Amino acid sequence: MAAALRPAILRHLRIPAQAQSLTVDPSAPILSSFMNRIRSMSSHGDEHLTHEEVVDRVIDVVKSYPKVDPSKVTPQVHFQKDLGLDSLDTVEIVMALEEEFKLEIPDKEADKIDSCPLAIEYISNHPMAA
């Protein structure tokens, strides 16, 4: 009886479709940010990271990198231009971020991340960030 009841209930459920304001953001994966705003059936609970938390953790990871001067690190900093790191250091910081947020960033996306704002944006948009 419960098995028959469930589809009947599901047929009548209406999920509110939110009007998405598509801000033009060439570097963000638009499709994934569209799909992960609505997660009503998710079993993850309320584990979404707030933006401030993401910013704080990213800044901590960058500051604890040994070659970086912690006083220069801001949420807008560019790894190679402002902090004087080279490309290998950039890859290493991205790997440290992968470890911190328990993500696995594909190579094509990882190559694009070379500054703090890009990293913060990518992680905020990633549905699996923890």
Partner 1 sequence: MAFTMRAVKVPPNSASLEEARHRVFDFFRTACRSLPSVMEIYNLDDVVTISQLRSTISAQIRQNAHITNPKVIDMLLLKGEEELSNITEHAKQRHHIIGQYVVEQSGPHDKGSTKDPSTSEFLKNFYTSNYF
- Residue numbers at the binding site for partner 1 (CB under 8 A): 64-66, 87-89, 91-92, 95-96, 98-99, 104, 107, 110-111
Task: List the catalytic residues.
Answer: 86
Identity of the residue, 35 or 95, whose beta carbon is nearer to partner 1 in the bound complex = 95
Identity of the residue, 47 or 107, whose beta carbon is nearer to partner 1 in the bound complex = 107
Rounded CA-CA distance 91/97 in Å is: 10
Nearest approach, Cβ of 71 to partner 1 (angstroms)? 20
Residues 6 or more apart whose Cβ sits within 8 Å of residue 38: 15, 17, 18
Identity of the residue, 45 or 66, whose beta carbon is nearer to partner 1 in the bound complex = 66
Nearest approach, Cβ of 115 to partner 1 (angstroms)? 17
Nearest approach, Cβ of 1 to partner 1 (angstroms)? 48
Q: How far is CA 10 from CA 5, 15, 62, 83, in A?
A: 9, 10, 46, 53
Rounded CA-CA distance 45/95 in Å is: 27
